[in-house]
Amino acid sequence: MKVLNFGSLNMDYTYSVPHIIAGGETMASYELNEYCGGKGLNQSVAMAKAGLPVWHAGLIGNDGEKLLETCEAAGVHTEFIRKLPVRGGHTVIQVDEKGQNSIILYGGTNRMQTKEYADEVLAHFGSGDYLVLQNEINLLDYIIDKAYERGMKIVLNPSPYNEALDACDLSKVSLFLVNEIEAAQITGNKDPEHVLDALAESFPEAAFVLTLGSDGAWYYDGTEKVFQDIFPVKAVDTTAAGDTFTGFFIRKLTDGADIQTALRTAAKASSIAVTRVGAAPSIPTMAEVEAEI
Ligand code: RIB
Do 159 and 39 form a contact (C-beta atoms < 8 A)? yes
Atom of ligand 1 nearest to the CA of 90: 8
215 is a catalytic site residue: no
Q: At what angle do helices 259-273 and 241-254 cross, to 10 degrees?
A: 150
Catalytic residue among 12, 243, 255, 258: 243
Q: List, in sequence order, every beta strand (DSSP E) within the chain.
A: 3-6, 10-16, 31-37, 54-57, 59-60, 82-83, 89-95, 101-106, 130-133, 153-156, 175-179, 207-211, 217-220, 225-228
Q: Which of 243, 246, 276 to mutate to test the pocket of ligand 1 (most atoms within 8 A of CB)?
A: 243
pLDDT in tens, the chain (293 residues): 999 999 999 999 999 999 999 999 999 999 999 999 999 999 999 999 999 999 999 999 999 999 999 999 999 999 999 999 999 999 999 999 999 999 999 999 999 999 999 999 999 999 999 999 999 999 999 999 999 999 999 999 999 999 999 999 999 999 999 999 999 999 888 787 789 999 999 999 999 999 999 999 999 999 999 999 999 999 999 999 999 999 999 999 999 999 999 999 999 999 999 999 999 999 999 999 999 98
Q: Which of 9, 10, 104, 111 to mutate to test the pocket of ligand 1 (most atoms within 8 A of CB)?
A: 10
Pocket lining: 240 vs ligand 1, CB cutoff 6 Å: yes
All domains in the chain, ordered by first residue: 3-9+38-87+109-292 (3.40.1190.20)
- Identity at 279, one-letter amino acid code: A
